[in-house]
Structure 1
Amino acid sequence: MSSSLDRRKFLQRGAVITAGTMLASGTHALAAHGALAAPGRRGQELKAPDNGGYGPIAPAKDMTTGETLLWLPAGFEYASFGHEASFATPRGLPARGSDGHPTPGRHDGMATFATGTPQVIRLVRNHEQGYAPTPTATRSYDKALVGDRDDAYDPLAAGGTTTLTFDTSELMLTDSFISLNGTSVNCAGGLTPWGSWLSCEETVNGTQNGFTKNHGYIFEVPAHQDGPVENPAPYTAMGRFAHEAVAVDPATGIVYETEDSGNTSGFYRFLPAEPGNLAAGGVLQMLAVKEQPQMQTYTGVSNRVGNPMPVEWVTIDDPDPAAITTESVYNQGAVKGGAAFARLEGCWYDGGSVFFNATSGGDAGAGQVWEYRPRGRSGGQLILLFESPSAEVLDAPDNLTVSPRGGLVLCEDGGGEQFVRGLNERGEIFDFAKNSLSDAEFAGACFSPDGDVMFVNVQTPGVSFAIRGPWEKGAL
C-alpha cells in the first residue's frame, strides 16, 4: 500500500490532500506553552469562567432528525449523519453507504482531510467492532463483517473504517463507503501529513483464539482512495499490542503511539526507516522518565502539574512477538525502565508537541492530560497538563484533538452523562457538549480544514455530528 502514498510530497509537506486538523505553526495552540494550571490547583478553581466564554450548555435540536441529541452552548447548531444501520432505520435515515453495505456501528476515532474543493472534505472513521465467531455467523451490528469477504484482511473480523465525503456548507453527507475491512476493535488512530489515516487495533486477538489472522496492529487508509484498501497489510514493526491512537510529527515522520491496557500501558514512538513510508519498517521505542525507572505516572504526581520531567527512550527488541499477551510488548520496555501509564487513549500532534490522555490516571482515577515535547532524537520533556480531581470535573478523557483556536478538545468515556470538555491555555476546563442520546462515549473529535466545523461521534448507537457556531468566544 505504500506505493499509493507520495513520500516526496510528504517530505515537502505539500500534499494535495492534507490533514486538515494538523496546524502548521501551532502559534495559537496550547502547544505554544502559555500559562498552565498552577501546581496543586483543585476543585472549582479548575473550572473556566463563563464556561470558557461560551456560556452554559442547553438542549439543542438536531438539524437532521429534529430530535434533541446534544446539549450545546447558545449560538451553535449541529447535524447528525453517518448513522449506523440499527439506529438510522427507524428514523427513515439512510441505513447503507453508497457501496450498498449497512453502515457499521461503534463509531470511534476519526480525522478530516481536504479535497481541493473548500467546502467538500473527506472523513475517515473507525468502527470499534470485534469479530464474528464463525464464517457463517448471522450478521448483527455489534458483531458483523463490515464489507465483502474478498476485501477483508481477516474474514472473521468485524472492525474497520468507513470513508465519508461531507459538504461543510450544507452540513450534509454526500457519500460513504467501507474503506478498511476485516480488522478488529479499531479504536482510535491518527492522521498523517501525507494524507492518510492510521487505524489502530485495540486487541491482541489472533489465530490463538479463532481468527484467521493475528490482530493488534496498525493499518493505513489513504483518504483519497475511492474504495476499500486492497490486500490490507499490518505494519508489524510498529508493534502488536492494544493500540489506541497515534500522532505523526510532520517534521521528522516519527509516529507516537498510545497503549490502552490498564495500568501497564506504555507511550511509544516509531522511528521509520523511511519517513512517510511506514511499510519499510523501523524501530519501536518506549518512553522512560530519566532517573525514575518504571515510574508509575498514574498516582502521586498531581503536585507536578505544569512541571516538566526529562525523559529518554528505550528500544523494544521484539515488537511483534510470536507468543502474545496484552503485556508482551509493554514488559520489554518496562524491564528497561519504561514508564507506566493508566489506559493511554487519545493522541494528537500540534505545534511541536504531542498531547495524550490517560483515561483512568490520577489519584482520583478520573483521568489525566499529558504533553510530550520532543528535544532532539534522544530525549524530551513530559508534562502533566491536567489531572481530574473527580468525574464531575472530567470523567475518563479518551479521544482528543487540538482546536485551531488553541484549546484541547477532550471526549469523555466514563459513566453516566458524557461530555465533550474543553481545556484552555490556562489549564481551565469547561463543558462544550453533552450526549443526550445515550450514556455512551464521545469519540473522534476533529475540525474541518478551515476550522469552522467540529466533527465528533457518539459510539452507541453509532452516529456522527457536525457542529458549527461562534467558536471565537472561547478556546475551541
Structure 2
Amino acid sequence: MSRNNASRPAPSRRAFLRGALAAGGLGLSAAPLTRLFARSMASRVVPGYGPLRPVADEVTGLELLSLPEGFRYRSFSWAGEALADGTPCPGRHDGMGVVAVEGEVVTLVRNHEQTALTGAFGHAECHYDPACSGGTTTLRYDLAKGEVVEAWASLSGTMQNCAGGVTPWNSWLSCEEFVVNAGALPDSAPARFERDHGFVFEVPASGRSKAVALRDMGQFRHEAASVHAPSGDVYLTEDLEPSAGFYRFVPREPGRLQAGGALYMLRARGHRDLRTGLRPGQRLAVEWVPIEHPDRGFDAQRKSISGVHDQGLAAGASRFTRLEGCIATDQGVYFTATNGGDEAAGQVFCYHPESQELSLVFESSPDSMLHYPDNVCLSPRGGLVICQDSPERVQHLHGLTPDGGLFRFAGNQARLDGFRGFTGDFSGAEWAGACFSPDGRWLFANLYAPGISVAITGPWQEGLI
C-alpha cells in the first residue's frame, strides 16, 4: 500500500499550520535552498566567514570555541547548574530547538541523552518511567542580557533523548534512541524498566510534558523528528546501523499528534539500498510502505530492537544507515546519514514532498572537509548548519551554502582543568542542537560533553549561514 493516494489535510488546516509557524516567529525562508536540488554538487570548500581562531567565552573567560573574526559567544546552562527546583541540570546536552519567543526572551527545549537507570529528575508530573534518567530541560534565555532567566525540568523518566524537532504549534518533539520493553532488567542495573521505551514525546513551550509516549509514531531508535508544515506530516530518522529507515508519520488530525495516525517507511523505486552507489544530484522516485505494528519494535525472543525497521524492509522499503539530523521546510525535508556513502563518511539527502522524489544533496569523499554529519538546522541566510560527530580529535560546526559550498564555522576547543568540577579535553565531543533565534542574530548550539550550551553571534552574511 502506498501513502501516495492517502487523503491530504484540509486547506484550512494547512493554512493554520503555516500561520502557527509564522506566528511563533520560528519560520525561516528556505527559498535559497531550492538551488540545492537543482544541481549536482561535488564537495567544494569555500572560505565562508574566514579562518577560525580561539575566542574567549564572554561569561567564563575560557577559550571554549574557535570562531571566525568578529564572532563572539556566551556559554550558559552548564551540566550541574541548579534548575528552578534546585535539581542539578543533567549533562549530555543533545538536540535542542526554539519553541517560543516573547520580546527578547526565547524559549529553548533541550534534550539530555542520559542512559543510566539512576532515577528521573525534576517534578514527578513530568516523569514517564521513574527509573530512567533521560529527558528535557526548558530554558528561557534573554537575548538582551545574554543569560538564562529561568530553567526547569520539562520531561524525565525517558532514555537516551537524542534529537527531535520543533513543531509549528510551538512544542518540542523529544525522541528516545533506546528500545526496550517493560520488565527488562539489564545486567548489573539497579532497577528494571517499568515502561516500554523507544518513543517520541511532546514537550510544551511552557510548563511540563505529560510524559505520554506517542506510540503510533513508532518504537525504534529515534533520532530526529521534523514537521512538514504544509501537510502536518512528521518525518523521522532512525539511528541504526548497518541498516536504518526513513519514516513518515501521517496524523489523523494534523497538529494533534496524540490523536494517533499512520506510520510509513520510505521506498525508493528500483533502489532498495541507498547506503552506497549514489551520485550527488541524483533523483529517485519515492513511495511509502505502511508499518502495520508501529509499537512492536522490541522482540525479546530474538533480542532485537529493529522490529519496526524489519516490518518496513519486509514490505519493500529502502535501506539507509545511521540516519540522524532532519529539518523540514515547505519545499523539502533534509536529513543526514552519518556514515552513509561510498566512503562511509556521510550523506545529506533531501526528500521533495510535492514531487515525491529523493535526492542526494551531498556525499563526503576522502578529501571532504566534513565527515560524519549529524544534527542539521536551516539558516535564515540560506544555508544549512551541520553538526559534526566524528572520530576526529576536534569536532566542528559546518556551513553548507545554497550553491554547495562547504566551510567550517566553529570548532570545539573545550579543555577544562577543574572548572565547575570538569577536568579533561572535551574538544572531541560532538556538536548538537544547533538552532537560530527567530531574528537570526543568535545561533544556539550544544557541546555534548561535559554539557554546555552556547549562544553565538557576529557579522552574519547572506548566502552563508
| Normalised TM-score (structure 1) | 0.86
Within a 5 Å distance, the mapping from 1:80-95 to structure 2 comes to 80-85=75-80, 95=81
Matched to 2:322, the amino acid is R
Superposition deviation, residue 115 in structure 1: 2.8
For residue 371 of structure 2, the aligned residue among 363, 385, 395 is: 395
C-alpha separation in 1, matches of 2:246 and 2:147 = 37
SS at match of 1:279: helix
For residue 16 of structure 2, the aligned residue among 11, 25, 28 is: 11
For residue 22 of structure 1, the aligned residue among 19, 24, 27 is: 27
Within a 5 Å distance, the mapping from 1:50-449 to structure 2 comes to 51-52=47-48, 54-85=49-80, 95-117=81-103, 119-132=104-117, 137=118, 145-149=120-124, 151-207=126-182, 208-209=184-185, 210-223=192-205, 225-226=206-207, 228-230=208-210, 232-292=211-271, 295-301=272-278, 304-321=279-296, 323-324=298-299, 325-375=304-354, 380-390=356-366, 393-415=369-391, 416-437=393-414, 438=426, 439-449=428-438
Superposition deviation, residue 14 in structure 1: 3.4
**Identity %, equivalent residues:** 45
Q: 1:88 is matched with which residue?
A: none
SS at match of 2:308: helix
For structure 2, list consecutive stretches of 5 or more residues without a partner in the other structure.
1-11, 186-191, 415-425
Asked whether the 8 Å contact 2:245–2:318 carries over to 1, the reply is yes
Distance change in 2, residues 1:353/1:461 (3 Å): same
Distance change in 2, residues 1:102/1:10 (3 Å): farther
Q: Deviations over 1:332-357 (max 9, x none)?
A: 11112111111000000124210001
Q: 1:47 is matched with which residue?
A: 45
Superposition deviation, residue 474 in structure 1: 4.9
Distance change in 2, residues 1:316/1:457 (3 Å): same
Asked whether the 8 Å contact 1:20–1:113 carries over to 2, the reply is no
For residue 468 of structure 1, the aligned residue among 454, 457, 463 is: 457
Q: Deviations over 1:393-443 (max 9, x none)?
A: 212111000101111110001112100011111212100000011110000
Q: Number of residues paired by the alignment? A: 430
Superposition deviation, residue 114 in structure 1: 3.2
| Normalised TM-score (structure 2) | 0.88
SS at match of 1:169: coil
Distance change in 2, residues 1:18/1:213 (3 Å): farther
Asked whether the 8 Å contact 2:267–2:316 carries over to 1, the reply is yes
Superposition deviation, residue 35 in structure 1: 5.3
C-alpha separation in 2, matches of 1:313 and 1:319 = 14
Distance change in 2, residues 1:254/1:396 (3 Å): same
SS at match of 1:288: strand
Asked whether the 8 Å contact 1:311–1:381 carries over to 2, the reply is yes
Q: Deviations over 1:225-265 (max 9, x none)?
A: 23x223x1100001000000011011110000000011221
Asked whether the 8 Å contact 2:401–2:464 carries over to 1, the reply is yes
Asked whether the 8 Å contact 2:100–2:108 carries over to 1, the reply is no
Distance change in 2, residues 1:419/1:212 (3 Å): same
Q: 1:92 is matched with which residue?
A: none
Q: Deviations over 1:169-193 (max 9, x none)?
A: 2221111000011111000001100
SS at match of 1:471: coil
C-alpha separation in 1, matches of 2:462 and 2:196 = 48
SS at match of 2:236: strand
Distance change in 2, residues 1:18/1:219 (3 Å): farther
Distance change in 2, residues 1:422/1:238 (3 Å): same
Distance change in 2, residues 1:355/1:19 (3 Å): farther
